Amino acid sequence: MKPYQMLIDGEWVEARSKKTFDVMNPATDEVIAKVPDAGPEDVDHAVEAARRAFDEGWRDVTAQERGRILLRLAEKMRKELPRLAEIETLNSGKPIVESEFDLGDVATCFEYYGGLATKLHGEVLNVPDNALSMAIKEPLGVAGQIIPWNYPLLMAAWKLAPAICAGCSMVIKPAEQTPLTLLEFARFFEECGLPKGVVNVVTGFGETCGAPLVAHKNVDKIAFTGSMEVGKIIMRTAADTLKKVSLELGGKSPNIFFADADFEAAVDGALFGVFVNQGEVCSAGSRVLVERPIYKKMLDAMVEKAKRIKLGNGLDRATKMGPVVSKEQMERVMRYQEIGRKEAKLAAGGGRAKGEGLERGYFVEPTIFYDVDNSATIAREEIFGPVMAVIPFDKEEDALRIANDTPYGLAAAVWSRDIFKCFRMVKRLQAGIVWVNHMQPTYVEAPWGGYKMSGIGRELGPWGADEYLQVKQVHVNLNEAPIGWY
Ligand code: NAI
Ligand code: MG
């Protein structure tokens, strides 16, 4: 079993306490690695290193050089993709085909921000005086980044790449369940020319490693993806030092099907929307709203296909759904399956998956509940597993009311051949991302983030870099004379 170290100030180190914790393979319930169990003293060490790196050199590295570092990281990622994809699957459970896809996106993310580095610039303003007025953008300083387990390296990339692009230094904490690919990726930093201390990786738990990072007085900004519950804690804690926060807190996203939608595409899109990556997707289309005329037919078609989804070890290329990430997550999903049985009607799945090769892993059945009322727990709370809640509706207005009746607002999708109806919906859906006749495609060029309680701020695109920048107003007086006031 592989013992890992973490990266602080360019050195591979253990936790100061020497403590470690086990990392599991969710497909087999076996320990696959040990990693340092970082505590507050390690966080202090990492933040000091990041501060020093920022103050003593990194802040003066040119945008062109930062861009080149990012491009080298992208190239290295592509070269090492097969090996890292295998580790991603071993550690997270997701099908290898999805790991390969995700890590391709990691490389694309570094490429995008590598190109953007030299295109970030301020503005010159037309103020009513003989003066030059400018708004210039500067890096915020030291960023703390807290990563979830559903897309381990991709969620890290969404935070690392824009922060390096903007010129920040950082301390990043992967989720305790899935630290391995980030630790592997961090081995590339030195040869790709990233100065020591610019990116520090600390492995640890939320309360002992994440929380001290959020509270740290020398950290200027926290970027977080994870649960709404922890998002609230982070915002409260960050108040003491008034640090900037960006939060991506998942959702209960509606996937809305009108009767005039392409039927085959609809069935496929509904299943993909909530079953891809075992349903462990922040933008999962976990509420499937179906117009009455096709309600029965679509439910039957979805059930038929869901029953044939091939579960198995993610390393098997035929696998379409792997285990969920941890025993804890499996138990959480199974609790919701139990709640669902009381609240609604069960059409498919409903428990832990059984079968050859599934005995030890954290496999749950692709599950479909129907005739779900939007007030039901399974329609209101994020489950983060392969559980679909199907809700019928009668009219466009009903679909909109049900879709927006949620504290969340990350994503929504609408399926119809009527362009007028689609755009009316697009305009009134309260979500940060709206798809028409598709669900889930995500591009580094386009903004990602939530309305309402799904979060604060936007990742990806130029918006992602802006989260790591602050604006300085500069006024240059061009009159060589006293103001003449006194
Ligand atoms: P979580 O929100 O507890 O964990 C996410 C990250 O936050 C991990 O790195 C964790 O170590 C860290 N963290 C936990 N407590 C912290 C604290 N007090 N201060 C600072 N950092 C802390 O998510 P968890 O418990 O793994 O999953 C619970 C539920 O959260 C899931 O069922 C799902 O509904 C939601 N979730 C949403 C995600 C998204 O993409 N929006 C990703 C992961 C989970
Ligand atoms: Mg938690």
User: Tell me: the pLDDT tens digits for 234-252?
Assistant: 999 999 999 999 999 999 9
According to DSSP, the β-strands at 131-139 and 123-125 are antiparallel
pLDDT (tens digit per residue) in 281-331: 999 999 999 999 999 999 999 999 999 999 999 999 999 999 999 999 999
The angle at the Cα of 82, spanning 103 to 205, to the nearest 5 degrees, equals: 55
- The finding on whether 233 has its CB within 6 A of some atom of ligand 1 is yes
pLDDT over threshold 90, residue 476:
yes
Number of other residues whose CB lies within 10 A of the CB of residue 141: 22
Asked whether the beta carbons of 157 and 164 are under 8 A apart, the reply is: no
Closest CA to 170 of 180, 158, 181, 179: 158
pLDDT (tens digit per residue) in 129-173: 999 999 999 999 999 999 999 999 999 999 999 999 999 999 999
Is the entire prediction scored with pTM above 0.95? yes
Ligand 1 atom nearest to CA at 149: 43
Distance 422 CA to ligand 1 centre (A): 34
Integer Cα distance of 208 and 211 in angstroms: 6
pLDDT over threshold 80, residue 1:
no
Exposure string for 44-65, b = 16+ CB within 10 A, e = fewer: ebbbbbbbbbbeeebeebebee
Of the listed ligands, the closest to the CA of 228 is 1
Model pLDDT, residue 458: 98
Of the listed ligands, the closest to the CA of 384 is 1
Residue 422 annotated to the active site: no
Cβ-based burial of 28 (10 A; exposed 0-12, middle 13-18, buried ≥19): middle
